Amino acid sequence: MTFETLSVFPEVFEPYLGVSVLGRARRAGVFDFVAHDLRDWTHDRHRTVDDAPFGGGQGMLMKPEPIFEAVEAISSSGERPHVVFFSPCGRRFDQRCAERLARERRVLLVCGRYEGMDERCYALADEVLSLGDYVLTGGELAALTVIDAVARLLPGALGDEMSAVDESFSPSGLLEYAQYTRPASFRGMGVPEVLLSGDHARVAAWRRESAIERTARWRPDLLDAADITDEERARALELARERERGTL
Protein backbone atom coordinates (compact mmCIF):
# COMPACT_ATOMS: atom_id res chain seq x y z
CA MET A 1 0.00 0.00 0.00
CA THR A 2 1.13 3.55 -0.70
CA PHE A 3 0.18 6.63 1.30
CA GLU A 4 0.73 10.02 -0.29
CA THR A 5 0.17 13.48 1.10
CA LEU A 6 -0.27 16.84 -0.61
CA SER A 7 0.69 19.71 1.66
CA VAL A 8 2.46 23.06 1.86
CA PHE A 9 4.56 21.56 4.66
CA PRO A 10 5.67 18.16 3.31
CA GLU A 11 8.62 18.05 5.71
CA VAL A 12 6.45 17.51 8.79
CA PHE A 13 5.61 13.87 8.00
CA GLU A 14 9.00 12.17 7.91
CA PRO A 15 9.94 12.54 11.62
CA TYR A 16 6.82 10.66 12.71
CA LEU A 17 6.67 8.07 9.94
CA GLY A 18 10.33 7.18 10.35
CA VAL A 19 10.19 5.88 13.92
CA SER A 20 8.61 3.17 16.07
CA VAL A 21 6.01 0.79 14.62
CA LEU A 22 5.41 2.81 11.46
CA GLY A 23 9.10 3.29 10.80
CA ARG A 24 9.77 -0.44 11.10
CA ALA A 25 6.78 -1.32 8.95
CA ARG A 26 7.82 1.13 6.29
CA ARG A 27 11.40 -0.13 6.21
CA ALA A 28 10.05 -3.68 5.94
CA GLY A 29 8.04 -2.71 2.88
CA VAL A 30 4.61 -3.01 4.53
CA PHE A 31 3.72 0.39 3.08
CA ASP A 32 5.31 3.20 1.08
CA PHE A 33 5.00 6.92 1.69
CA VAL A 34 5.42 9.93 -0.59
CA ALA A 35 5.04 13.57 0.49
CA HIS A 36 4.14 16.01 -2.31
CA ASP A 37 4.76 19.75 -1.99
CA LEU A 38 1.73 21.69 -3.21
CA ARG A 39 3.95 24.63 -4.13
CA ASP A 40 5.47 22.51 -6.91
CA TRP A 41 2.25 23.18 -8.84
CA THR A 42 2.35 26.99 -8.59
CA HIS A 43 3.48 29.26 -11.42
CA ASP A 44 4.49 32.57 -9.83
CA ARG A 45 7.78 33.65 -8.27
CA HIS A 46 6.29 33.59 -4.75
CA ARG A 47 4.82 30.07 -5.18
CA THR A 48 1.45 31.35 -4.00
CA VAL A 49 -1.16 28.84 -2.85
CA ASP A 50 -3.66 31.16 -1.11
CA ASP A 51 -5.75 34.27 -1.79
CA ALA A 52 -8.42 36.44 -0.13
CA PRO A 53 -11.99 35.08 -0.11
CA PHE A 54 -14.65 36.62 -2.32
CA GLY A 55 -17.16 38.60 -0.27
CA GLY A 56 -14.61 39.45 2.40
CA GLY A 57 -13.95 37.72 5.68
CA GLN A 58 -11.07 36.69 7.88
CA GLY A 59 -7.96 34.91 6.69
CA MET A 60 -6.98 33.43 3.35
CA LEU A 61 -8.26 30.50 1.32
CA MET A 62 -6.27 27.93 -0.60
CA LYS A 63 -6.55 28.55 -4.32
CA PRO A 64 -8.10 25.90 -6.56
CA GLU A 65 -5.55 25.99 -9.39
CA PRO A 66 -2.56 24.39 -7.59
CA ILE A 67 -4.73 21.78 -5.88
CA PHE A 68 -6.46 20.72 -9.10
CA GLU A 69 -3.18 20.57 -11.01
CA ALA A 70 -1.47 18.62 -8.24
CA VAL A 71 -4.21 16.03 -7.70
CA GLU A 72 -4.64 15.51 -11.42
CA ALA A 73 -0.89 15.13 -12.01
CA ILE A 74 -0.43 12.75 -9.09
CA SER A 75 -3.48 10.71 -10.11
CA SER A 76 -2.25 10.36 -13.69
CA SER A 77 0.97 8.69 -12.55
CA GLY A 78 0.33 5.00 -11.93
CA GLU A 79 -2.80 3.53 -10.39
CA ARG A 80 -5.35 6.21 -9.53
CA PRO A 81 -5.31 6.92 -5.79
CA HIS A 82 -8.27 7.09 -3.45
CA VAL A 83 -8.37 10.85 -2.76
CA VAL A 84 -9.19 12.03 0.77
CA PHE A 85 -9.77 15.63 1.83
CA PHE A 86 -10.31 16.89 5.39
CA SER A 87 -13.06 19.22 6.56
CA PRO A 88 -15.32 19.75 9.60
CA CYS A 89 -18.11 18.92 7.16
CA GLY A 90 -16.68 15.48 6.49
CA ARG A 91 -17.58 12.05 7.74
CA ARG A 92 -16.22 11.26 11.19
CA PHE A 93 -13.10 9.12 10.89
CA ASP A 94 -13.37 5.93 12.96
CA GLN A 95 -11.97 2.41 13.12
CA ARG A 96 -14.34 1.06 10.49
CA CYS A 97 -13.24 3.80 8.14
CA ALA A 98 -9.60 2.87 8.84
CA GLU A 99 -10.37 -0.77 8.06
CA ARG A 100 -11.98 0.24 4.77
CA LEU A 101 -9.06 2.45 3.77
CA ALA A 102 -6.65 -0.39 4.59
CA ARG A 103 -8.12 -2.23 1.61
CA GLU A 104 -7.07 0.53 -0.79
CA ARG A 105 -3.82 0.18 -2.74
CA ARG A 106 -3.04 3.89 -2.95
CA VAL A 107 -4.39 6.74 -0.81
CA LEU A 108 -3.76 10.46 -1.40
CA LEU A 109 -4.43 12.69 1.62
CA VAL A 110 -4.89 16.36 0.72
CA CYS A 111 -4.04 18.71 3.59
CA GLY A 112 -5.69 22.10 3.90
CA ARG A 113 -4.29 25.19 5.61
CA TYR A 114 -5.26 28.78 6.42
CA GLU A 115 -9.05 29.30 6.56
CA GLY A 116 -9.64 26.30 4.35
CA MET A 117 -9.97 25.60 0.63
CA ASP A 118 -11.91 27.04 -2.22
CA GLU A 119 -15.12 24.97 -2.16
CA ARG A 120 -14.57 23.81 -5.74
CA CYS A 121 -11.55 21.76 -4.64
CA TYR A 122 -13.79 19.21 -2.94
CA ALA A 123 -14.97 18.07 -6.36
CA LEU A 124 -11.67 16.17 -6.52
CA ALA A 125 -12.34 14.14 -3.37
CA ASP A 126 -13.47 10.54 -3.26
CA GLU A 127 -14.38 11.22 0.34
CA VAL A 128 -14.09 13.98 2.92
CA LEU A 129 -13.16 13.09 6.50
CA SER A 130 -13.21 14.86 9.86
CA LEU A 131 -11.36 13.82 13.01
CA GLY A 132 -13.87 15.51 15.28
CA ASP A 133 -15.66 18.69 16.21
CA TYR A 134 -12.63 20.92 16.62
CA VAL A 135 -10.35 22.99 14.41
CA LEU A 136 -6.71 22.21 13.61
CA THR A 137 -4.16 24.59 12.12
CA GLY A 138 -3.75 22.32 9.11
CA GLY A 139 -4.60 18.92 7.71
CA GLU A 140 -1.16 17.42 8.31
CA LEU A 141 -2.04 16.10 11.78
CA ALA A 142 -5.26 14.65 10.42
CA ALA A 143 -3.34 12.94 7.62
CA LEU A 144 -0.82 11.48 10.07
CA THR A 145 -3.67 10.21 12.22
CA VAL A 146 -5.27 8.45 9.28
CA ILE A 147 -1.96 6.96 8.14
CA ASP A 148 -1.19 5.70 11.64
CA ALA A 149 -4.62 4.13 12.14
CA VAL A 150 -4.65 2.51 8.70
CA ALA A 151 -1.02 1.38 8.48
CA ARG A 152 -1.16 -0.60 11.71
CA LEU A 153 -3.94 -2.71 10.19
CA LEU A 154 -1.78 -3.82 7.28
CA PRO A 155 -0.40 -7.38 7.39
CA GLY A 156 3.03 -7.40 9.01
CA ALA A 157 2.80 -3.89 10.48
CA LEU A 158 2.53 -4.98 14.13
CA GLY A 159 4.41 -8.28 14.00
CA ASP A 160 1.78 -10.01 16.16
CA GLU A 161 -1.20 -10.21 13.82
CA MET A 162 -3.61 -10.37 16.78
CA SER A 163 -2.43 -7.05 18.20
CA ALA A 164 -4.79 -5.00 16.03
CA VAL A 165 -7.66 -7.43 16.67
CA ASP A 166 -7.48 -6.99 20.44
CA GLU A 167 -7.45 -3.20 20.39
CA SER A 168 -10.38 -0.88 21.09
CA PHE A 169 -13.17 -0.83 18.49
CA SER A 170 -11.92 -3.96 16.64
CA PRO A 171 -13.75 -6.18 15.89
CA SER A 172 -16.29 -6.31 18.74
CA GLY A 173 -16.90 -2.56 18.84
CA LEU A 174 -15.95 -2.48 22.54
CA LEU A 175 -13.16 -0.57 24.21
CA GLU A 176 -10.10 -2.64 25.01
CA TYR A 177 -10.00 -4.45 28.36
CA ALA A 178 -7.91 -3.10 31.25
CA GLN A 179 -4.27 -4.15 31.24
CA TYR A 180 -1.57 -4.39 33.92
CA THR A 181 2.15 -5.09 34.14
CA ARG A 182 4.78 -5.42 36.90
CA PRO A 183 4.82 -4.76 39.80
CA ALA A 184 1.80 -6.78 40.91
CA SER A 185 1.21 -4.31 43.74
CA PHE A 186 1.82 -0.57 43.38
CA ARG A 187 0.96 2.04 46.02
CA GLY A 188 -1.71 -0.18 47.46
CA MET A 189 -3.26 -0.98 44.10
CA GLY A 190 -3.14 -4.63 43.09
CA VAL A 191 -3.52 -6.52 39.86
CA PRO A 192 -6.73 -8.61 39.55
CA GLU A 193 -5.99 -12.08 40.86
CA VAL A 194 -7.32 -13.79 37.75
CA LEU A 195 -4.53 -12.27 35.66
CA LEU A 196 -1.96 -13.96 37.89
CA SER A 197 -3.70 -17.35 37.81
CA GLY A 198 -2.29 -18.68 34.55
CA ASP A 199 -5.80 -19.91 33.68
CA HIS A 200 -6.22 -18.76 30.09
CA ALA A 201 -9.97 -19.43 29.98
CA ARG A 202 -10.58 -17.38 33.13
CA VAL A 203 -8.33 -14.62 31.84
CA ALA A 204 -10.24 -14.49 28.53
CA ALA A 205 -13.58 -14.32 30.36
CA TRP A 206 -12.29 -11.56 32.66
CA ARG A 207 -11.01 -9.55 29.71
CA ARG A 208 -14.36 -9.79 27.97
CA GLU A 209 -16.16 -8.57 31.10
CA SER A 210 -13.58 -5.83 31.57
CA ALA A 211 -14.07 -4.61 27.99
CA ILE A 212 -17.83 -4.43 28.47
CA GLU A 213 -17.49 -2.65 31.81
CA ARG A 214 -15.01 -0.09 30.47
CA THR A 215 -17.22 0.58 27.45
CA ALA A 216 -20.25 1.08 29.67
CA ARG A 217 -18.24 3.42 31.89
CA TRP A 218 -16.44 5.53 29.32
CA ARG A 219 -18.28 5.14 25.98
CA PRO A 220 -21.82 3.86 26.52
CA ASP A 221 -22.70 5.25 23.07
CA LEU A 222 -20.77 2.31 21.57
CA LEU A 223 -22.97 -0.34 23.16
CA ASP A 224 -25.78 -0.20 20.59
CA ALA A 225 -23.53 -1.41 17.79
CA ALA A 226 -21.25 -3.64 19.88
CA ASP A 227 -21.00 -7.36 19.08
CA ILE A 228 -22.20 -8.72 22.43
CA THR A 229 -24.77 -11.23 23.62
CA ASP A 230 -28.20 -10.27 25.00
CA GLU A 231 -26.99 -11.14 28.50
CA GLU A 232 -23.87 -9.04 28.10
CA ARG A 233 -25.94 -6.17 26.71
CA ALA A 234 -28.26 -6.25 29.71
CA ARG A 235 -25.26 -6.20 32.03
CA ALA A 236 -23.70 -3.35 30.04
CA LEU A 237 -26.90 -1.30 30.19
CA GLU A 238 -27.06 -1.80 33.95
CA LEU A 239 -23.46 -0.61 34.23
CA ALA A 240 -24.30 2.41 32.08
CA ARG A 241 -27.26 3.25 34.35
CA GLU A 242 -25.02 2.93 37.39
CA ARG A 243 -22.62 5.34 35.75
CA GLU A 244 -25.43 7.85 35.18
CA ARG A 245 -26.40 7.54 38.84
CA GLY A 246 -22.80 8.09 39.84
CA THR A 247 -22.46 4.72 41.56
CA LEU A 248 -20.00 3.20 39.09
Global pTM value: 0.86
Distance CA(226)–CA(204), nearest Å, equals 18
- Of all residues in the chain, what percent are helix, strand and coil, respectively (each to 5)? 40, 15, 45
pLDDT, position 45: 95
What pairs with residue 50 in β-bridges? 62
Look at residue 168 in the predicted model and tell me its pLDDT: 62
Residue 246, pLDDT score? 73
pLDDT at res. 160: 62
Instruction: Note down pLDDT in tens along the chain; length 248 residues.
Output: 999 999 999 999 999 999 999 999 999 999 999 999 999 999 999 999 999 999 998 899 999 999 999 999 999 999 999 999 999 999 999 999 999 999 999 999 999 999 899 999 999 999 999 999 999 999 999 999 999 999 999 999 997 654 555 566 667 889 999 999 999 999 999 999 999 999 999 999 999 999 999 999 899 899 988 999 999 999 888 888 887 787 65
Alpha helices of the chain — where are they, by DSSP H? Answer: 14-17, 20-27, 64-75, 95-101, 140-151, 200-218, 230-245
Helix (H) or strand (E) holding 2: strand 2-7
Per CATH, which fold does 185-245 belong to?
Trp Operon Repressor; Chain A (1.10.1270)
Of 134, 162, 131, 160, nearest in space to 148 by CA: 131
* Homologous superfamily of domain range 2-151: SPOUT methyltransferase, trefoil knot domain (3.40.1280.10)
d(CA 72, CA 61): 20
Q: Domain residues of the chain, as ranges?
A: 2-151, 185-245
